[in-house]
Structure 1
Amino acid sequence: MTTTTAAPHTVIVGFGMVGHRTATELLDRDPNARITVISGEKCHAYDRVALSSYVSSWDRSLLEMSDLPEHVDIVHAQATGIDRDARTVGCDNGDIVSYDHLVLATGSYAWVPPIPGHDLPGCTVYRTLDDLDDIRRIIEDARSTGREPVGAVIGGGLLGLEAANALKLLGAKPHIIERSPRLMPIQVDADGGVLLAEKINELGVEIHVDTGTEHIAESAERDNLTLTLSSPVPAPGQPAPTDPTIAELTVDVVVFATGVRPIDALADNATPEPLPKAPRGGILTDRLCQTTDPHISAVGECAAVDGVCYGLVAPGYTTAEIVADRITGRTATAFENPDMSTKLKLLGVDVASFGDAHATTEGARPLTVNDPVNGTYGKLVMDRTGSTLLGGVLVGDAQAYAMLRPMVGEDLPNPMSFLTAAGGDAPAVGVSALPDAAQICSCNAVTKGDIREAITDGACSVADLKTCTRAGTSCGSCVGLLGQLLDAEGVEQDKSLCAHFRQSREELFQCAAATRIRDFPRFIRRFGTGHGCEICKPTMASIF
């Protein structure tokens, strides 16, 4: 008599970008994998990196990640506890889900500092689509009274600048309040921060650096809020001000963009023993993303890999790949400290940071060019010999980033030419000079060798490379390099955006401008095929 053993059942708790990626990685390795996702939300997984584009369309479907196969069970409920002995997860809808492997992908939440008044109506965060809907409602309510809406963003990091941009797009006057001496203090140095603040201020955004928020109160009319701001921190050797209060700011909405914290409560709600957490929060794992329970893994922002949580999507995707390899019996590569490079266009201003941007390496030599006339700033950090690139900062013009970031750790001929070339062109080095080990897409850990192998296997367009390697499908900063690599390999390129649109991005822009269609389902029915994907949905959201 022959008996059959059911395939192992993997339960993923959390359906954000990394939870979705974990499911797709498992399915890539085993298309028939038994997977249940306990989403914690009522909506489908969506692209949080492209959150700002929601303001342009207010169409949630444009940000949705690709659909999973029908045999994947998605439970729209909140996980409440784990029975480690029985290997079950309890949900707030009464469901009890059994697992062979449990993957915690619960993500993080927006942290709000305990400023008095932080919980008043009109105070919110910038984290989810629902948050943006709340911000929109508050601003529209203020406008209905006949006044120009005003908003304050507390926090001048990446999310803070994105939130200020959302306020501006919604027609509100934005203020950014940052306790540090400059905007984006993690990514940008002092000189770059000065230029960044100047350029953003020119766009109509009021900048308050070295400034804290003492408390928030309802105004006398109780239809808006008053912020009491503290004075700038005095320079070393300077006396502290006798009156620490410098201003009161009346606003309609306060948006907190002060960082995130891991959602790790399930670790505490595990029986018979809780799962260990890192001292600063997060579910503790080893570098194979396994907790102390061999049947439970953690990925993404809730995972404290060797005690450290990472708040970018790229290391989250890496953890998803590691866990998928391990669960399916493949040899998993241990997690390595990730590339934290970033390139963004914030309020229309290019900002990039990569490698050792703050020159912390012993013997590092920074080379800088500050051009206030053209509104650009560039710094390259070289090693003590001046030949090897360690990192850099670019503000105002970040076109050189695509070539410079993969060159970190490599010899860089004539580095100053990268900072002085008009338009950010790299005059001395082309993509052919990059080694095969150079990482072209940091979000998805795709190397030049991976791209060349895909081209050899028949990829003949940027869309093909995106589909078969995932390069360029997250932040998009490497898309230009993909085209250059195709050219370098002598490939006559297909300009199609993706498998659903045979037109190029420029042609699709013209179609949208000519027809004024701003609804993705209508647009793809007229100009494309299928239902769209992670390439065309965010691209069209940006175009709309």
Structure 2
Amino acid sequence: MNRTLIVAGHGMAGHRLVEELRSLDPAGRWRIVILAEEPHPAYDRVALSSYLDGRSASDLALAAPGFLDDPLLELRLSTGVDRVDRAARTVTTTTGEVIGYDALVLATGSRPFIPPVPGHDLPGCYGYRSLGDLDAIREAAVPGRPGVVIGGGLLGLEAANALRLLGMEPHVVELAPRLMPLQVDPDGGEMLARHVRDKGLRIHCGVATASIQAGPDGRANGVALADGSTLEADIVVFSAGVRPRDELAGPAGLATGERGGILVDEYCRTQDEHVWAIGECAAVAGRCYGLAAPGYRMAASVARQLMGQEGEPFGEADMSTRLKLLGVEVASFGDAHGSTAGSLELSRRDGAAGTYAKLVLDGDGRTLLGGVLVGDAAAYGELRPFLGRGVPAAGHRLLAGAH
């Protein structure tokens, strides 16, 4: 007889869990019910911005051909979990149905953080998280008119590029003194800002958003900044980070982390032996991870556990990133900010080429601890495997003439 697994959420981590479990379960021991809040099956959220650059929802879909024909899978779109009854081992869906489970995996992801500034909920204000958000932004966009993105991190720059692709004139407002403050250092941020300004973006760093102003029609038409200035805006996009979707935890008696997220151990187990959490909603030893790769690792581990196998403990997540934003290559790996006690930082800036490279070494200058690359990230693939080891030839080439 089949046992029933309920997966709450069909994002990238939830989908990977289902794929992993089906590959490990050819005998069909598990029947899987996927409850997806969005009207679309799982899609590549990392490539979300390409949806405004010619790709369709089907282009971004993660499910392989035949996935939805699997008789052991039941995908319910536009249907989330309203509450969990751990004693009865049931979930009540947002449509009011009660479904029993033998195992429950919470993969509810995260939601955009909307700063609670006055006017944040005006018409014309949008998040940047889903295909639905991008559909709404595309419908509201007016070529040639200004739009403001609140947040200058990775997703904020993607949102600004999306407005640019729609023909708008984007501004980016970032509270930190530089763009992408989690990934790059001040010099790297300065070089990145130079590149994105060349692409037509207007950058406002080191300033807070005071309020969103409304026009005569009641829609957002401006962003007031804490320095007293005001930016005209037909559209305001909030991309100031995300918060884990952990609202199911409290009513179900499940613990959450100090900074949010459903608290799990290194095997992604909650205190209930029948309930796991993976992806952005999971606080592994109290910490949430906003990248796809850690979520995939969690999914693989839980799938093995569901099959009675030993899962891989999560351990430390590799937060290294290499990406291309508005045609600008950026990479960050290891201790990019030189926070290790006694570490040395060697950097090289080439204004003519528009590149910046920094390597972080241990106090003896022999061990590679991390680095930042802006403008040219070709060396990333050679450098990253050497973390915790000696500096490879690529590092010496990068830093020829460094200070």
- CA shift, 1:413, in A, is 4.0
Is the radius of gyration larger for structure 1 or structure 2? 1
In 1: Cα distance, 2:323 partner to 2:394 partner: 22
Distance 1:58 1:133, change over 3 A: farther
Q: Per-residue deviation at 1:103? A: 0.4
Q: Does the 8 Å contact 1:179/1:209 carry over to 2?
A: yes
User: 1:225 is aligned with what amino acid?
Assistant: N
The structure-2 alpha-carbon separation of the partners of 1:222 and 1:331, relative to structure 1 and needing over 3 Å to count, comes to closer
Q: Which residue of 2 aligns with 1:228?
A: 224
Residue deviations 1:62-90 (CA, integer Å, cap 9, x gap): 00012422421112212111111111111
Q: Provide Cα deviations, 1:9-51, integer angstroms capped at 9, x if missing partner.
A: 2111100010000101111111323211111222111010110
Contact 1:400 1:418 in 2 (8 A): no
How many Å separate the matches in 2 of 1:251 and 1:50?
26
Q: In structure 2, what is the equivalent of residue 24 of structure 1? A: 19
2:146 aligned partner: 150
| Distance in 2 separating the partners of 1:380 and 1:58 | 37
Write the deviation string for residues 285-319 of structure 1: whole angstroms up to 9, x where unpaired. 11111001100000001111111111111111111
The 3-state SS of whatever aligns with 1:265 is coil
Q: Per the alignment, in what secondary structure is the counterpart of residue 230 of structure 2?
A: strand
Aligned residue for 1:11?
Answer: 6
Corresponding residue of 1:193: 189
Q: Percent identity?
A: 50
2:254 match: secondary structure: coil
Offset, 1:213: 1.2
Whichever residue aligns with residue 265 of structure 1, its letter is E
Deviation at 1:219, TM superposition (A): 2.6
The answer to whether the aligner puts 1:309 opposite 2:310 as a matched pair is no
Unaligned runs of 5+ in 2: none
Q: CA–CA distance in 1 between the matches of 2:358 and 2:55?
A: 38
Pair 1:105–1:137, CA change in 2 (3 A):
same
Q: Which SS does the other structure have where 2:59 is aligned? A: helix
SS, match of residue 53 in structure 2? helix
- Contact 2:208/2:225 (8 A) holds in 1: yes
Pick aligned residue for 1:43 from 40, 44, 54: 40
CA distance in 2, matches of 1:94, 1:126: 29
What amino acid maps onto 1:264 in structure 2?
A: D
The aligned counterpart of 1:255 is 237
Residue 60 of structure 1: which of 57, 64, 69 is its match? Answer: 57
CA contact (8 A) 1:174 1:205 kept: yes
Question: Do the aligned residues in 2 keep the contact of 1:81 with 1:90 (CA within 8 Å)?
Answer: yes
| Alpha-carbon contact 2:150-2:156 (below 8 Å) kept | yes
The residue that corresponds to 2:87 in the other structure is: 85
Deviation at 1:325, TM superposition (A): 1.2
Partner of 2:276: 297
| 1:414 positional shift | 4.7
Task: Tell me the equivalent position of 2:208.
Answer: 212
Aligned pair partner of 2:127 in 125, 128, 131: 125
Per the alignment, residue 264 of structure 1 pairs with: 246
Letter of the structure 2 residue corresponding to residue 73 of structure 1: E
Q: Which amino acid aligns with 1:174?
A: P
Offset, 1:221? 6.0
Q: How much does 1:58 deviate?
A: 5.0
Greater RCO between the two (CA within 8 Å, min separation 6)? Answer: 2
**Structure 1 contact 224–250 (Cα < 8 Å) conserved:** no
**Separation (CA, whole Å) in 1 of partners of 2:217 and 2:302:** 54
Helix, strand or coil at the partner of 1:255:
strand
Q: C-alpha separation between the residues in 2 aligned to 1:227 and 1:75?
A: 39
- 4+ runs deviating over 6 angstroms: none
Q: Following superposition of structure 1 onto structure 2, how do residues 221-370 of structure 1 map, counting pairs within 5 Å?
A: 225-231=221-227, 245=228, 247-270=229-252, 274-370=253-349
Correspondence for 1:497? none
Tell me the C-alpha RMSD between the 2 structures: 1.4
- 1:347 to partner: Cα distance: 1.0
CA offset at residue 220 of structure 1?
4.3
Alpha-carbon separation, structure 2, partners of 1:52 and 1:345: 12
Over residues 120-153 of structure 1, what are the superposed CA-to-partner deviations in whole Å (9 max), with x where a residue is unaligned? 11110111111111111111xx35xxxx221100
CA distance in 1 between counterparts of 2:394 and 2:20 reads 39
> How far is the alpha carbon of 1:222 from its aligned partner?
5.0
| TM-aligned CA deviation for residue 172 of structure 1 | 0.4
Measured at CA, do residues 418 and 72 of structure 1 come closer, stay the same or move farther in structure 2, by a change above 3 Å? farther
Partners of 2:212 and 2:161 in 1: CA distance: 22
Q: Report the Cα distance in structure 2 between the residues aligned to 1:219 and 1:87, rounded to whole angstroms.
A: 50
- Determine whether 1:71 maps to 2:34: no
Structure with the larger helix share: 1
What's the CA shift for 1:419? Answer: 1.0
SS state at 2:178 partner = coil
Shift of 1:420: 5.3
| Deviation of 1:106 (Å) | 0.5
Q: Distance in 2 between matches of 1:418 and 1:9?
A: 56
Letter matched to residue 340 of structure 1: M
Q: Structure 2 vs 1, CA of residues 20 and 51 (structure 1 numbering), >3 Å: closer, same or farther?
A: same
Is the 2:13–2:295 contact (alpha carbons within 8 Å) kept by the matching residues of 1? yes
Q: Which runs of 5+ in 1 are unaligned?
A: 1-5, 232-244, 422-544
